[in-house]
């Protein structure tokens, strides 16, 4: 199952239909609405993840001392209708809560897609547990040992079914890394001392400041998490981000320096490193303008790190106006999707890539290009993936810029 967010006349965006996939990329020029759309998706996920998911039309079967509940397409359609009714009736207040300012929008709706692919089965006895069943009959445990009164357990199971469909398993949250993360990383304490309420901040930015203010490092990691942390430390930071005495520090070899004295690249990458080492668990990571202050060569490494983060079971939603980063992401996805395993492995060896850099085949990808028209408004187009010929995603705007540079060089050289 998946969620699609549709908007009409939302700020400068004429219309858009964005599917929240496992790996979601927004590309386009500056001031084309990428950040605004990311923040809207953040607000939508926030609304749904906190939704009072009633049992409603879920099928309930009583057998002796056991109760079975089936959450299937009809139940999710009912939730979808309820959320859309809320957004229609409370559009202004929702946007104000999300952005802390009035944002024009004619229509905002959500749609649950592919409802026939899975359903959830809750079992309640002395305790309750929830399983997800796929259309081939395969079942996966979602949560177990849920306790409480029967009615309370029913509501908990319905909540867990909705969260899992969102891609936010129990205990996971979402986090937005804003384009201004370097400055916020240095000044977040001053913000909280002086600000009243949210002080006009958009909800995702405010939540990011809370993440920094309440940060607590984790000490135990599984093998895949350790591999990713080591990769980021080695390939991107050339050192480590550590949290000591309530301060973020950069350590290179045995030299510790405050983050405020580190390079701009370290500033920009430190929030991602901090997320990986955080005690909190984040199932959705929004990463705005990923390429800020990152050398083009390093952009290939950040692309690999994002693939690895997604492979850990997380959703990644990013924006960029870097043709280099978009190209690196495209190449990694293109090789990941190759059906000829022998050829793929040969390419991996020649490029010195590993299978860890490859996006797992079950991960869904959607890429959207934000295009300004002559009137100054923006149209959002979903890019198609071409596995043959092996193009991958055709970034039209970026290709135009590359062609222009090539023509300029030819003109200069005569």
Cβ–Cβ < 8 Å for 113, 1 = yes
Place of tokens 């890394």: 177
Q: Which residues contact 85 (CB under 8 A, 6 or more apart)?
A: none
Helix or strand (DSSP H, E) at 184: helix 181-194
CA distance 241 to 250: 5
Q: Phi and psi of 339, rounded to 5°?
A: -85, -25
CA distance 221 to 218: 8
CA distance 365 to 363: 7
Cβ–Cβ < 8 Å for 321, 29 = yes
| pLDDT computed for residue 408 by the predictor | 62
Token representation of residue 56: 């409603």
Give the alpha-carbon dihedral of 97, 100, 105, 108, to 10 degrees: -30
Q: Which of 341, 338, 336 is nearest to 356 (CA)?
A: 336
* 107-113 vs 392-393, strand pairing mode: unpaired
pLDDT, mean of each 10-residue run, the chain (414 residues): 94 95 94 94 96 91 90 94 96 94 95 90 93 90 91 93 90 90 65 64 90 91 95 94 88 85 87 94 94 90 97 96 92 94 94 95 95 89 87 77 64 68
CA distance 373 to 317: 24
CA distance 212 to 283: 17
Strands (E), 49-184: 59-63, 66-71, 107-113, 118-124, 128-134, 139-146, 172-177
DSSP 100-125: SS----SEEEEEEE-TTSEEEEEEES
Strands (E), 221-271: 240-244, 247-252, 255-258
CA distance 91 to 113: 22
Task: Tell me the angle at which helices 150-166 and 34-49 cross, rounded to the nearest 10 degrees.
Answer: 160
| pLDDT computed for residue 394 by the predictor | 85
| pLDDT computed for residue 403 by the predictor | 63
């Amino acid at each position: 199952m998946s969620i699609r967010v549709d908007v009409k006349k939302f700020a400068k965006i004429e219309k858009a239909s964005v599917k929240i996939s496992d790996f979601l990329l927004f590309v386009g020029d500056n001031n084309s609405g990428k950040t605004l759309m990311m923040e809207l998706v953040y607000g939508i996920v926030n609304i749904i993840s906190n939704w009072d998911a009633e049992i409603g039309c879920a099928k309930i079967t009583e057998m002796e001392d056991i109760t079975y509940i089936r959450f299937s397409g009809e139940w999710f359609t009912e939730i979808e209708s309820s959320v859309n009714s809320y957004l229609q009736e409370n559009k202004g207040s929702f946007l104000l809560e999300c952005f802390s300012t009035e944002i024009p929008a004619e229509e905002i709706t959500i749609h649950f897609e592919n409802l026939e692919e899975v359903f959830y089965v809750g079992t309640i006895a002395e305790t309750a547990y929830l399983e997800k069943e796929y259309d081939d009959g395969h079942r996966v445990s979602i949560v177990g040992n849920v306790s409480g009164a029967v009615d309370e357990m029913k509501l908990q199971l319905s909540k867990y079914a909705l969260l899992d469909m969102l891609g936010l398993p129990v205990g996971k949250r979402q986090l937005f890394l804003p384009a201004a993360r370097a400055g916020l990383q240095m000044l977040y304490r001053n913000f909280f001392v002086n600000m009243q309420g949210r002080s006009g901040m958009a909800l995702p930015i405010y939540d990011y400041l809370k993440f920094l203010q309440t940060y607590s490092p984790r000490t135990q990691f599984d093998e895949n998490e350790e591999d990713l942390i080591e990769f980021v430390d080695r390939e991107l930071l050339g050192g480590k981000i550590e949290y000591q005495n309530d301060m973020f520090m950069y350590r290179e070899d045995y030299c510790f320096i405050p983050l405020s004295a580190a390079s701009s690249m370290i500033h920009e990458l430190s929030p991602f490193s901090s997320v990986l080492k955080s005690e909190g668990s984040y199932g959705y990571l929004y990463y705005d303008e990923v390429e800020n202050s990152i050398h083009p060569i390093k952009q290939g490494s950040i692309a690999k790190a994002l693939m690895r983060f997604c492979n850990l079971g997380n959703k990644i939603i990013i924006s960029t106006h870097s043709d280099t980063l978009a190209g690196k992401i495209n190449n990694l996805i293109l090789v990941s999707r190759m059906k000829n395993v022998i050829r793929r492995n040969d390419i991996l060896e020649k490029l010195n890539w590993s299978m860890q850099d490859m996006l797992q085949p079950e991960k869904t990808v959607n890429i959207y290009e934000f295009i300004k028209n002559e009137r100054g408004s923006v149209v959002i187009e979903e890019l198609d993936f071409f596995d043959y010929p092996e193009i991958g995603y055709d970034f039209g705007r970026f290709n135009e810029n590359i062609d222009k540079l090539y023509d300029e060089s030819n003109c200069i050289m005569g």
